Structure 1
Amino acid sequence: MAAHTAEELIGRVRGEVSVGASGNRFLELLERGRIPRERLSWLAGEEYRIVDSDRRSFALLAARYPEPPSGAFFLTLAQGEAQAFRLLHDFAAALGLGEKDLHAYEPQPLAQAYPAYLAQRALFGTAAEVALAMLTNLEEWGNYCARTASALRARYELTDEAIAFFTFFADSPPDFAAQATEVVAAGLAAGEAPADLARAARLLHDYETAFWNSLATGLS
């Protein structure tokens, strides 16, 4: 019964997130080749802090919830973020940015709302909250990364190596959906309120939207 309830909740929240989704101004400009290279540096700088934070958040969740199905799920996500962090340096290098440049970059506050909220949930929330949030936002995030990779290749002539960070996130990890659903089901079976799980997913989606909006600030 719990697994069936989890599937229903996932479907409902996906629908709510989809209805509330807006356009992505940054990607629309990127696909037309109208994002200055300086603003691409923003993308690298923001992701530098986001990915490093998310890696720690998933590692914390794996430590807080080591038993199946949560432990292996979050450990896999942490390892994925570690791999993405290495790939991000190739994107930064293509823009002429080194480790010191990335570290010195001053992040935009609203662009960092997403990792800040994920870190909060990693510390104070539940495994099911985070699993539902990641699962319901995954398709949109993957699509955005695929579009980013395509635009960077076509409009900015970046190599496959340089855009590997984005192609990495364009596809979800094997069995991700099934594992995330198990974590959500376990949380519901333990008595977690569906409304609490849904709220975390909606907030995480809104904070991701804020990230993309921040990258487009001031551009026309």
Structure 2
Amino acid sequence: MANRARHLLDEARKAIASIEERIRCHPYLEAVEARRVEKGKLALFAGQQCHIIESDLRSVALIVSRAESQGARDFLGGMMQGERAALEALEPLGQALGLSPEQLHAVEPLPGAFAYSAYVTWLATYGTPAEFVGAFLVNLDAWGENCGRISRALQTGYRLSVQDVAFFDLFASAPPGFEEQGLAVVEEGLGQGADPLRIRRAARLLQGFELLYWDTMWEAAKG
């Protein structure tokens, strides 16, 4: 049982509860649900995700190559498969929002949006698998909830199809056993001397960059 890991991540979530609340109640989400974000601005969201997912794929591959245990490699390999599926699902989303595949990849990255991926790359380069996985376990709850809301809003308010919003639905709920398997990676890391402070710090910083992403999308939507 990954008791220490679960307790550690529960502590991490409590410490950043205010950040989580700001992400879950972000005005960008409310604007999309009220259909106050034009399609061109939604296309910018898809373009930013294209850069982020492509970067995160490389970052996960890097941490897989650094992981020493089979359990960590298996879990992180599953994350890579999820990132690949998300990248494939971006093209239908982009096309539904008016972007050809070439235009989707040509969208210029915004610093405040790409900062999340820059930190993921830092974690993959300098962090332990326990830090990397722990941060994502904390991060993905709010991201998944927001993706579910956007998926529903795009279908009801913007008349996009289920196939168009598959990108968001991929993140809306975690695969069976995802958290338990991730907790096992963190627990293993703790047993091998991973620093709990650094795991909590990684979770806090990643969630801070997540909030910055939504803030950046909101500013771009208003501009």
TM value normalised by structure 1 = 0.96
Per-residue deviation, 1:3: 2.7
Q: Kindly report which structure 2 residues correspond to 1:195-210, keeping only aligned pairs within 5 A, or say none.
A: 195-210=197-212
Kept in 1: contact 2:19–2:211 (CA 8 A): no
Counterpart CA distance in 1 for 2:41 and 2:98 is: 13
- Could you tell me which residue of structure 2 aligns to residue 114 of structure 1? 116
4+ runs deviating over 4 angstroms: none
Equivalent residues of 1:50, 1:112 under 8 A apart: yes
Q: Is the Cα contact below 8 Å between 1:46 and 1:112 reproduced in 2?
A: yes
Residue equivalent to 2:14: 15
Identity %, equivalent residues:
37
- Structure 1 residue runs of 5 or longer lacking an equivalent are none
2:170 is matched with: 168
Whole-angstrom distance in 2 between the partners of 1:101 and 1:66: 39
Could you say which residue in structure 2 is the equivalent of 1:134?
136
Q: Report if aligned partners of 1:32, 1:155 keep a CA contact under 8 Å in 2.
A: yes
2:17 corresponds to which letter in structure 1? Answer: S
- Structure 2 length normalisation: TM-score? 0.94
Distance across 1 between alignment mates of 2:180 and 2:167? 24
Give the Cα–Cα distance (whole angstroms) in 2 for the partners of residues 88 and 99 of structure 1.
Answer: 9
For 1:6 and 1:84, locate their aligned partners in 2 and report how far apart those are by CA, in whole Å. Answer: 28
Structure-1 separation of matches of 2:42 and 2:199: 34
Q: Which whole-Å deviations, capped at 9, do the CAs of 1:180-210 have from their partners, x for residues lacking one?
A: 1011111111112211110000000010111
**Are 1:142 and 1:169, in contact at CA under 8 Å, matched by a contact in 2?**
yes
**How many Å separate the matches in 2 of 1:141 and 1:179?**
19
Residue 73 (structure 1) shift: 0.6
Equivalent pairs, count: 219
Where 1:157 maps in the other structure, the secondary structure is coil
One-letter code aligned to 2:103 = D
**Segment drifting more, 11-20 vs 159-168:** 11-20
CA drift at 1:81? 0.4
Amino acid in the other structure paired with 2:2: A
CA 84–66 in structure 1, closer or farther in 2 if over 3 Å, else same: farther
CA distance in 1, matches of 2:68, 2:61: 10
Tell whether 2:89 aligns with 1:81. Answer: no
Root-mean-square deviation (Å): 1.4
Unaligned runs of 5+ in 2: none
1:66 deviates by 4.7
Alignment equivalent of 2:69, drawn from 67, 78, 99: 67
Q: Secondary structure at the match of 2:102?
A: helix
Which amino acid counterpart does residue 110 of structure 2 have in structure 1?
Q
Q: 1:44 to 1:20 in 2, by over 3 A?
A: closer
Aligned residue type for 2:138: T
